[in-house]
Amino acid sequence: MSPLDRLSLLRRRLGLVSATRPEPTSGDGHAELASTERIGLLERAIWSLVWLGILVGGVNLWGSWASWPVIDVLAPTMVAVALCGFAICWCAESPRSWAHQGLAMASALVVVTAPAAVAIHTRIYYETDSAALDHVAARVLVHGDNPYATSLGAAGQFLHTAAYFWTYTLNGGHVAGVSYPAGSFLVYAPAFALGFHHEVVDWMDLYAWLATAILLFALLPRFLRWIAVLVTLTGIFTGIFSGGGTDAMFLPFVVLALWHWDRFGRPRVAGVARWLGPIALGVACAIKQTPWFLAPFLVVGIWIETRRDGRSPLPVVARYLAIVLGVFAAINLPFIIWGADQWWHGTLLPLSQPLVADGQGLVSLAVHGLTGGADLSLLMDASLVALLGVLAAYVAWYRLLKRIWLLLLPIPFFVSPRSFTGYLIDFFPAALIALLTVDPASAPLPARRWGRLGSSQVVLGAAALVMVALSALSLTGAPMTLSFDSAVIGPSEQHMFAVTVTATNNTGATLTPHFMVDVGEPHPTGFWMPAHGRPVVIGAHRSVTVTLFPPVGTATYLPPWASDYVVDAYTSSPRALSTTQDIWHNYIPKTKMPSVFPRPLRASRIPPSPRPRRAPPTR
């Protein structure tokens, strides 16, 4: 048998060609067949990676056998299914069959859900304050009270050492009330009404993420459904959304809002997209504020699409906005009537209340002591300019960005003073839907030109320059200079009991800073206070040396060997952060523990509880 005959037989066995169909042997037909074969091999290879992920997930299930006896059976079962999946992927006539793809998706859901379910079932505390606050708010609503008018301080009992989890404000306090639209707790209220009480928010968030994964699988074209399975197997989504990441509740609605969004206003081809998109966006906006940032881009996109069809865009855009606002109002109107002032204050709190800096974006340079601090007001202005710049780019290069604009939307969040993981990755499943289901853009619209540049390009360039300038000024605009003096370290150098710093006010106004000590935790762990318990007041161009003690009832662990930590000082007027430089704790001045501690320190001598395992914050 010749090599060509053996290759032909192999292709038939792999199901790449029909056994009864003759293969072209020369010319364009041969090239076309070779291209088809390469595509088929690539698709099967990608599905092999999917099954590898399922195999790894099944192996990892084995580690949870002591938490749930079912795992003893589930782990080897999923390993066996994955091994069979490899064979099906390469031996079936096509990897696009419903049996093959459905088995892969179901297996992925099992291997990501089982360990998350075990973790939630065996956990007695929430891992974010947003989950605990939503828990209490939903319970308050079921009992007939207005969550916006009720203090939710009881959420602290659902947090393991609450000081480690609160969202802190620049004035030295923390958020203890509803800070989202009403949908944020309404989605959990039915579970409480049915009698469920244990980790309700985490369970519901996990279900919402699984629903998002299933939607992604169902809405993608069949030849691309391996993307949905791979995203499902990505551990970061399941880890965050089963560990206090309440953003999961709006993800299914955002996915539906972005599915064929450009068909709105096209009666003949729109189908359910004619009404489903704006309704889903209204529900998503009624749950949290993050989806609000989608509205300007969708409105502009629908305006451009309608104008290109030769129709008046104003009625179409007005109808779209009316549906979105109508759904948002329908969900929130009862609470507006119940207490308009409380609802308004709570809903806009994340946008109006100055919160401490945190996250994985640009602000991390300041929080971790690399720049000496930051002017948080300027950084917020830079993020707003970045949002304007992305919108200008969307208009200027609509043909290029129509499908991918949602991948650029995290840029403003990256520049924001609070740039958590959720802000940077939440929209990725919806971005895939927008990328793969909307129609390609047609010829660009004529635009006003300033010289050789279009108006949108000029706005984009100006926005980029302003954003960079504001960011640079912010990272060099700390109002105080902090220098580290010494620390009180406990036995075996495992805990820090006090830290002494000198703070110099570089402004012409009196400052009242509130101090934190960042020892490598993923979230601020509370404000440190002097022994007398009163705020520190620093006059204009004055310096103060102060010894700070950790919050009562907390234990501050030292960072690992040869790691750094930073002392932060926040001021509300101006809204700014000042920090020490990185402190390498193994080579800093230390003092022995005194035999008698000031009063706030005595509480710190309580034997510390084990450090809780915490998921990245999402507020």
Distance CA 550, CA 164 (A): 11
Give the pLDDT mean for 325-350: 93
Token representation of residue 165: 């989890």
Q: What is the CATH number of domain 480-605?
A: 2.60.40.10
Closest CA to 288 of 259, 341, 245: 245
pLDDT digits (tens, 9 = 90+) for 14-37: 444 444 444 444 455 555 556 677
Dihedral Cα 251, 418, 353, 615, nearest 10 deg: 60
Which position has the higher pLDDT, 219 or 273?
Answer: 219
Q: Are the beta carbons of 175 and 167 closer than 8 angstroms?
A: yes
Mean pLDDT of the region 327-355? 91
Average pLDDT over residues 372-389: 93
pLDDT of residue 74: 87
pLDDT in the model for residue 270: 59
Q: Please, which pLDDT band fits residue 488 given cuts at 50, 70 and 90?
A: confident
Task: Give the model's pLDDT for residue 311.
Answer: 84
Residue 306, both tokens: 């309608």
Give, as one character, the DSSP assignment of residue 549: B
pLDDT of residue 210: 96
The CA distance from 363 to 478, in Å, is: 13
> 330 vs 308, which has greater pLDDT?
330
**At residue 597, does pLDDT exceed 70?**
no
pLDDT at 319 over 80: yes
Tokens representing residue 13 in the block: 């066995």
CA 584 to chain CA centroid, Å, is: 31
- The span from the CA of 119 to the CA of 243, in Å, is 9
Highest mean pLDDT among 149-158, 263-272, 292-301: 292-301
3-state secondary structure of 592: coil
pLDDT of residue 608: 42
For residue 295, give the amino acid letter: A
pLDDT of residue 241: 92
The mean pLDDT of the chain is: 84
Q: Is the pLDDT of residue 492 over 70?
A: no
- pLDDT value of position 469: 94
- Confidence bin at 332 (pLDDT 50/70/90): very high
The closest alpha carbon to 166, from 570, 609, 527, belongs to: 527
Average pLDDT over residues 531-537: 89
Which of the pair, 383 or 594, is modelled with greater confidence? 383
pLDDT of residue 604: 36
Bigger pLDDT: 433 vs 601? 433
Residue-wise pLDDT tens digits, 495-527: 788 889 999 999 999 999 999 988 877 777 889
pLDDT digit string (tens) for 47-92? 999 999 999 988 888 776 667 777 878 888 999 999 999 999 998 8
Residues contacting 22, CB < 8 A, separation 6+: none
Q: With a cut of 60, say whether residue 365 has pLDDT above it.
A: yes
Which region among 400-409, 441-450, 554-563 has the lowest average model confidence (pLDDT)? Answer: 441-450
Q: Kindly report the pTM of this predicted structure.
A: 0.85
> What backbone phi and psi angles, to 5 degrees, belong to 119?
-65, -45
Alpha carbon distance 320, 433 (integer Å):
20
Over residues 190-223, the pLDDT tens digits come to: 999 999 999 999 999 999 999 999 999 999 999 9
Ordered DSSP codes for 192-224: HHTT--TTHHHHHHHHHHHHHHHHHHHHS-GGG
In angstroms, the Cα distances linking 272 to 257, 266, 278, 401, 436 are 11, 11, 11, 24, 17
Q: Residue 268: which pLDDT band, with cuts at 50, 70 and 90?
A: low
Q: Stretch 478-488: mean pLDDT, rounded?
A: 90
By mean pLDDT, which of 63-77, 224-238, 486-500, 553-567 is the weakest?
Answer: 553-567
pLDDT of residue 63: 72
- Per the model's pLDDT, the better-predicted residue between 333 and 477 turns out to be 333
pLDDT at residue 65, rounded to an integer: 67
Q: Are 586 and 482 in contact (CB under 8 A)?
A: no
Please report which confidence band the pLDDT of residue 586 belongs to, taking 50, 70 and 90 as the band edges: very low
Q: Tokens representing 202?
A: 């985490």
How far is residue 234 from each of residues 202, 213, 227, 285, 483, measured CA to CA in Å? 18, 11, 11, 26, 42
Confidence of residue 131 (pLDDT cuts 50, 70, 90): very high
Neighbours of 242 (CB within 10 A): 27
